Every structure is written in structure tokens, then in C-alpha cells.
């Protein structure tokens, strides 16, 4: 019993001691710590200006708010959550990956893949006839315009030379 009491009190003393140190560190978060979080946030008033570089008075106050919250021991995530809860998802530099916002992330890669697919398909379509007609001569090839003839002839001659 006595031992337990001793242990508990030791834990208590140590925890107070360490919290004290932690608090002492947190009382004055540096500008860099504030900016590290502010960088990831956008104020709802100044469009498209990250909070860490926004010169307006409102943004200065917000930075002070971050500083105070850091001093209270809030984590980065808690601070960001607080701003989202109070001012909406637009304070984040990227929309959260939920619901409608998924469109933001999904559409570009899908479109690019479709583009790549079309391109590769066209390549296949373009290069296939050549294999088929390799014996049949130039019959199937679309007629080059008059200006092309000379150029293509020379090009093909040269290609032959290389082979």
C-alpha cells in the first residue's frame, strides 16, 4: 500500500514536472511554428493567398489565434480542424477527400488516361495498315499532296539506305 502510494506520488510529481517543461516550451511558439501551419491554410477573405503571407489585419489575427492554440498545446491537426469547423473547407489548400470533392481528384487522371488510350489506339490503327500492305506496295496509302512527293521520296530513299 505504502509502495503504491509512493509510486503514484512519484508519477504525479514527475508528470507535473514534465508538463511544466512542456508548457514552458509551448507558451511562446515561434513564428516559424505558426507559419508552418498558416502556410497550409487560406483565409476566406483574401482569395488565394496563403495565411502565412497574407498582409491583412484579419490574417494577422488568425496567425495570433494559431499561436495561442499552439501555446495551449493543440496539435496541428486540431488547429486545422478548428478552422475548418468554423470557416468551412475552403480554408484548406486542398479540398478534403469526401463526397463531391472526389471529383476534383478523379476527373483529371481519368481524362488523361482516356487521352492516352485514344492516342495508343490511333497508333495501332496507323501502324497496322503498313504491316498489311508491306507486300502490297503503296496502294493503300493516302495520296500525298504534290508538295509532299519529293520530300517523301527523299526520306524513303534515305530510310532504305539506312536499312
Partner 1 sequence: MLPEFGFGVLLVGFIVTVYSGFAAWYGVRNKSASLVESARRAQLLTFPLLTIAAGVLIYLLVNNHFEVSFVYEVTSRSMPTYLKVTAWWGGQAGSLLFWAWLLAMFTSAVTVRKWERDLEFLPWVIVVSSITLAFFVGMVVFYENPFTRFWDIGGQVVPSLFAPSANATVFTPDDGQGLNPLLRHPGMVIHPPMLYLGFVSFVIPYAFAMAALITGRSDDRWIRITRRWTLWAWLFLSLGLVLGGRWAYDVLGWGGYWGWDPVEIAAFMPWLTGTAFLHSVMIQEKRGLLKHWNMILIILTYALVVFGTFLTRSGVLSSVHAFANSPIGPLFMAFVSLTLIASVALLIKRWPELKSETEMKSMLSREALFLFNNLLFMGILIVCFWGVISPLASELFTGTKITVGPPYYERATGPLFAGLLFLMAIAPLSAWGHSTVQTLGRALWKSALAASILTVGLVFTYTKNIYALIGFFLISFVFFATVHEFWRGANARMKAQDENFFAALGRLMGRNRRRYGGYIIHISMALMAIGILGIEIFQIETQGTVASGESLELADYRVEYRELASWDDFGSAVNYTRSVVDIYENGIFIGQLYPRIDYYYDSQQNMTIPGQHATLKDDLYILLVDWQPVSNQGATFKIYVNPLVNWMWIGSLTFLFGLMFAAWPDKDPADEPVRKRVGAGGRQASAAD
Contact residues for partner 1 (CB under 8 A)? Answer: 30-32, 35, 42, 44, 47-50, 53, 55, 60, 88-95, 99-101, 103-105, 107-109, 111-112, 115-116, 119, 122-123, 126-127, 129-130, 141-145, 147-148, 150-152, 154-156, 158-159, 162
Whether 48 and 57 have beta carbons less than 8 Å apart is answered as no
Q: Which is nearer to partner 1, 27 or 101 (CB)?
A: 101
Give min distance, CB of 80 to partner 1, in A: 13
Whether 101 and 95 have beta carbons less than 8 Å apart is answered as yes
Q: Give the separation between CA 144 and CA 146, rounded to whole angstroms.
A: 6
Q: Which is nearer to partner 1, 34 or 69 (CB)?
A: 34
Q: Give the separation between CA 93 and CA 53, rounded to whole angstroms.
A: 14
Q: Which is nearer to partner 1, 19 or 27 (CB)?
A: 27
Give min distance, CB of 31 to partner 1, in A: 4
Q: Which is nearer to partner 1, 78 or 94 (CB)?
A: 94
Give min distance, CB of 95 to partner 1, in A: 4
Give min distance, CB of 72 to partner 1, in A: 21
Q: Which is nearer to partner 1, 109 or 137 (CB)?
A: 109
Give min distance, CB of 27 to partner 1, in A: 16
- β-bridge mates for residue 41, sequence order: 92
Amino acid at each position: 500500500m505504502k509502495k503504491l502510494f509512493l509510486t503514484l506520488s512519484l508519477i504525479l510529481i514527475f508528470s507535473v514536472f514534465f508538463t511544466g517543461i512542456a508548457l514552458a516550451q509551448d507558451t511562446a511558439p515561434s513564428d516559424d511554428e505558426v507559419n508552418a501551419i498558416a502556410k497550409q491554410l487560406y483565409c476566406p477573405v483574401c482569395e488565394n493567398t496563403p495565411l502565412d503571407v497574407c498582409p491583412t489585419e484579419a490574417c494577422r489575427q488568425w496567425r495570433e489565434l494559431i499561436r495561442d492554440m499552439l501555446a495551449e498545446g493543440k496539435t496541428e491537426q486540431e488547429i486545422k480542424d478548428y478552422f475548418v469547423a468554423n470557416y468551412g473547407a475552403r480554408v484548406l489548400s486542398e479540398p478534403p477527400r469526401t463526397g463531391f470533392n472526389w471529383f476534383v481528384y478523379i476527373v483529371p487522371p481519368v481524362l488523361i488516361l482516356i487521352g492516352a488510350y485514344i492516342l495508343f489506339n490511333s497508333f495501332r490503327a496507323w501502324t497496322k495498315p503498313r504491316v498489311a500492305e508491306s507486300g502490297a506496295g503503296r496502294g493503300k496509302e493516302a495520296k500525298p499532296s504534290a508538295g509532299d512527293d519529293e520530300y517523301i521520296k527523299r526520306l524513303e530513299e534515305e530510310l532504305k539506305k539506312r536499312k
